[in-house]
Amino acid sequence: MSDELESCTIRRLQQADVHAMLEILRNAREEYGMGQRLTSVLEPADYALFEAYRKRRCAYFVAVQEGCIVGGAGIAPLKGGDWLTCELQRMYVRSDLRGHGVGQMLLDACLSAAQALGFAKCYAETISQMEGALAFYDRNGFIRLDVPSGSSGHAFNDRWLMLHFAAPTSGGHC
């Protein structure tokens, strides 16, 4: 593990983290031209970040490096989906730290939480311009879908993905 990652920790979102996460969300969305697709770069749900992930079967994690929030990602039940499907949401890492393992740490935390919460599949959406994100999801076993699943409410997304978790082993017990 690089020194950079050794100083990075993953923890649950706290109310005091919301402002820093909103800046990361805003910067990433502007970087990829999402302001042209949306009425506002930040959505009302973004401002309610802390409250949204305190709900049942939800979790949001932040990456902290040297006391600063450098990224975040969350999971929640997929709206309009089945009981076994969660959605990976608001996964963003500061641009200067992409490709250094922070996103992997966040994804691992989300997937671990999802499995602990009883989900068997994880759905994700993004836009075609986020080629790095698409390659990242490919490396992590997500398969690309031809159409969206559930009703995330994000009509601007044009790439849809699904990850099926490995079935737990029985450990030899009947």
Q: What domains are there in the chain, each with its CATH number?
A: 3-164 (3.40.630.30)
* 68 Cβ contact list (under 8 Å, min separation 6): 20
pTM to 2 decimal places: 0.88
* 30 Cβ contact list (under 8 Å, min separation 6): 41
Model pLDDT, residue 140: 97
- Helix pair angle (131-139, 102-116), 10° resolution: 50
pLDDT per residue rounded down to tens, the chain (174 residues): 455 566 899 999 999 999 999 999 989 888 877 765 555 678 788 889 999 999 999 999 999 999 999 999 999 999 999 999 999 999 999 999 999 999 999 999 999 999 999 999 999 999 898 899 999 999 999 999 999 998 887 777 899 999 999 765 444 443
Model pLDDT, residue 33: 74
Residue 69 to residues 7, 21, 24, 63, 105, Cα–Cα distance (Å): 12, 7, 9, 6, 14
